[in-house]
């Protein structure tokens, strides 16, 4: 074993990489990222979509609008 293999992986993984299975681990990580990232993006998209629809459909009587101060009013 070389010093490089210890800095890149534990001894079990380093032995597997030496036997030629190094691409499989990298491709597995890439595949999982390819699955997880779109799912997380879709969840975020739908959360924002639901929040916007809820805000648009909310009765104005029940809104908690925070008054916005103009910069001119706060200076005087």
pLDDT over 90 percentage in the chain = 32
**C-alpha dist (Å) from residue 25 to 10, 21, 22, 30, 34:** 13, 7, 6, 9, 14
What's the start-to-end Cα distance of the chain, in Å?
74
2 CB contacts (<8 Å, ≥6 apart)?
A: none
pTM of this prediction? 0.51
Q: What is the pLDDT of residue 21?
A: 58
With cut-offs at 50, 70 and 90, classify the pLDDT of residue 8. low
* pLDDT, the chain, mean: 77
* pLDDT tens-digit series, residues 20-53: 656 777 888 899 999 999 999 999 999 999 999 9
Here the contacts of 3-6 (C-beta below 8 Å, separation 24 or greater) are none
And the tokens for 72?
């001119």
Q: Domain limits of the chain?
A: 3-59
């Amino acid at each position: 074993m070389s010093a490089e293999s210890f800095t890149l992986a534990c001894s079990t993984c380093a032995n597997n990489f030496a036997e030629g299975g190094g691409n499989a681990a990298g491709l597995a990580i890439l595949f999982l990222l390819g699955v997880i990232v779109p799912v997380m993006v879709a969840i975020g998209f739908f959360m924002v979509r639901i929040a916007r629809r809820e805000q648009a459909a909310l009765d104005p009587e029940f809104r908690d609008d925070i008054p916005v101060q103009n910069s001119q009013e706060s200076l005087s």
